[in-house]
């Protein structure tokens, strides 16, 4: 008797709940022209989608988020979180406070024009590209300002800053701009909006 068993002929469905299917289907993303997103899977694979394009996310894929410095001058006090990287005609504003050779403080208000170029897989290598950009250029500008006395610097502050940021101009050719090899970011222009001397008497 221990070797006998009975098999039922009918299969009993397990109890289940059916959820409203209005939102079934893949998630679609469509970055606009001049923007890019990075798609990351659970296995660590990643791909960059450059707009204009439409992409359907797989079940294990998400968008890589970035925390960008905001405000003017740029700080980490209030970070802006986004998944969209502007890769064309980006604009980053900043204020650089520097000291001249004769110990006079000046504040330079700037606006950088930035493009991302080359291999798109490099573009997201630096999480906070705004901080990376502004901190590096602040250091270069401060070093250049330190070599001038204020009366020599003030009338030619614009060409001095442009030489530092964009490189020396050569007759018959454009300034090369400043390329960041770490993430393919190039500063192709800079506007010097204001140069303020800290001491009003000077």
CA distance 60 to 148: 56
Say what the pLDDT of residue 67 is: 93
Say what the pLDDT of residue 196 is: 92
- Does a cis peptide bond (omega within 30 degrees of 0) precede residue 52? yes
pLDDT tens sequence across 32-71: 999 999 999 988 899 999 989 999 888 888 899 999 999 9
| Helix, strand, coil abundance in the chain, percent, nearest 5 | 20, 35, 45
The HSE-up count of residue 67 (CA atoms within 13 Å, CB side) is 5
Helix (H, G, I), strand (E, B) or coil at 10: coil
Average pLDDT over residues 140-153: 93
pLDDT tens sequence across 36-46: 999 999 888 99
Tokens read off for 114: 């930035």
- 174 contacts: CB under 8 Å, gap ≥ 6: none
CA distance 17 to 54: 33
- C-alpha pair distances (Å), 15 with each of 12, 18, 53, 78: 9, 10, 42, 49
pLDDT tens sequence across 69-127: 999 889 888 899 999 999 999 999 999 999 999 999 999 999 999 999 999 999 999 98
Q: Which of 188, 72, 77, 68 is nearest to 124 (CA)?
A: 68
CA distance 103 to 95: 18
């Amino acid at each position: 008797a221990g070797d006998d068993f009975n098999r039922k002929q009918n299969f009993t469905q397990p109890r289940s709940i059916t959820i409203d299917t209005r939102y079934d289907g893949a998630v679609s993303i469509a970055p606009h022209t001049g923007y890019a997103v990075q798609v990351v899977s659970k296995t660590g694979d990643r791909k960059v989608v450059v707009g204009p394009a439409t992409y359907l996310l797989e079940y294990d894929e998400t968008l890589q988020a970035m925390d960008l410095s905001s405000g003017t001058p740029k700080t980490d006090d209030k970070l802006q979180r986004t998944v969209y990287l502007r890769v064309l005609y980006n604009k980053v504003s900043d204020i650089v406070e520097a000291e001249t050779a004769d110990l006079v403080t000046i504040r330079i208000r700037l606006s950088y024009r930035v493009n991302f170029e080359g291999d798109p897989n490099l573009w997201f290598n630096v999480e906070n590209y705004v901080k990376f950009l502004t901190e590096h250029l602040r250091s270069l500008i401060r070093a250049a300002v330190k070599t001038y006395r204020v009366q020599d610097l003030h009338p030619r502050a614009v060409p001095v800053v442009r030489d530092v940021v964009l490189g020396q101009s050569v007759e018959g050719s454009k300034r090369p701009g400043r390329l960041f090899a770490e993430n393919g970011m190039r500063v192709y222009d800079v506007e010097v909006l204001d140069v303020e001397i800290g001491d009003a008497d000077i």
